C-alpha cells in the first residue's frame, strides 16, 4: 500500500489563502481572465475543474501566463486524469470523492492531492493511505461545519477543505474550526459578472474572500 508523502507541499498550498476558488472555464481566454482577477485580489491557489473541453489548455495557459498563480486541477474522477493534469501544469489535484483505485493513484501522484470524502468512514480510509488533508464534498449537503466539528475529536490529525454550497458568510464559520485548512468555493465568480466580463467585480470579491481570517 502506497502511503501519501506530500503533506508539507499540501500544507504550503492550503496556507496560501483562506479560500481556494473553483473555476469552470468556457475557454482559455476566460480561464486566464478569471485567474488574473483572482490573483490580483489575493487568491493565488486556483482550482480549475476538468468539466469543460478547455480546462487542460486553460491550466497550461494559467501556469505559463499568470504570475503568482498556483493552478490546480479539480474534478479528478479517474486515475488517467492525474497524468494529463500534471502534464498541463497543475501543481495540485482535487477530487470530489475517492474510489479505491483513484485513492491509490492519488497517493502516488507527483503533486499534492486533496481527495474528496463525505463521511467519517471515507475520511478514515483516506487516512489509512497517509492523507492528512482532505476535501469535504458536498460540504453543506453532508453536514457542513457541524460535521467537521464532530470529526475533530475522533480524527484530530485530519484537516479539511470543505467545498460545495459555501458562500462568504458560511466560509467565515468554517474557518473558525481548528480542522479546516481552507475553504473551496466559487461565490467570488458570479455568473452574471463573468458573462458581462466584469472582472473588476471578481477581483473585489476575491479580495474580500482573501481577507477572511482563519482560527
Catalytically active residues, by annotation: 47, 135
- In whole angstroms, give the CA distance from residue 93 to residue 104: 14
Contact between 175 and 183 (Cβ < 8 Å): yes
For 161, which DSSP code?
A: E
- In whole angstroms, give the CA distance from residue 1 to residue 134: 19
**What distance, in Å, lies between the first and last C-alpha atoms of the chain?**
34
Please, where are the H alpha helices in the chain?
7-14, 28-40, 55-65, 80-88, 100-107, 120-128, 139-142, 144-152, 168-174, 191-196, 199-210
Residue 19, CB-side half-sphere exposure with 13 Å CA sphere: 31
Amino acid at each position: 500500500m502506497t502511503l501519501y508523502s506530500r503533506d508539507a507541499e499540501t500544507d504550503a498550498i492550503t496556507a496560501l489563502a483562506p479560500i481556494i476558488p473553483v473555476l469552470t472555464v468556457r475557454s482559455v481566454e476566460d480561464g486566464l481572465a478569471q485567474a488574473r482577477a483572482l490573483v490580483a485580489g489575493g487568491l493565488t491557489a486556483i482550482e480549475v475543474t476538468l468539466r469543460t473541453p478547455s480546462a487542460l489548455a486553460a491550466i497550461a495557459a494559467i501556469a505559463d501566463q499568470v504570475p503568482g498563480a498556483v493552478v490546480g486541477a479539480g474534478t479528478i474522477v479517474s486515475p488517467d486524469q492525474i497524468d494529463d493534469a500534471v502534464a498541463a501544469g497543475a501543481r495540485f489535484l482535487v477530487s470530489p470523492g475517492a474510489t479505491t483505485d483513484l485513492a491509490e493513484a492519488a497517493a502516488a501522484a507527483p503533486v499534492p492531492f486533496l481527495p474528496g470524502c463525505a463521511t467519517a468512514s471515507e475520511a478514515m480510509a483516506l487516512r489509512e493511505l497517509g492523507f492528512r488533508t482532505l476535501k469535504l464534498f458536498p460540504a453543506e449537503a453532508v453536514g457542513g461545519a457541524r460535521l467537521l466539528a464532530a470529526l475533530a475529536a475522533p480524527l484530530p490529525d485530519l484537516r479539511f477543505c470543505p467545498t460545495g454550497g459555501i458562500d462568504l458568510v458560511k466560509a467565515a464559520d468554517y474557518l473558525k474550526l481548528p480542522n479546516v485548512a481552507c475553504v473551496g468555493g466559487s461565490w467570488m465568480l458570479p455568473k452574471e459578472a463573468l458573462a458581462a466580463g466584469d472582472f473588476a467585480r471578481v477581483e473585489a470579491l476575491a479580495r474580500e474572500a482573501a481577507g477572511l481570517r482563519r482560527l
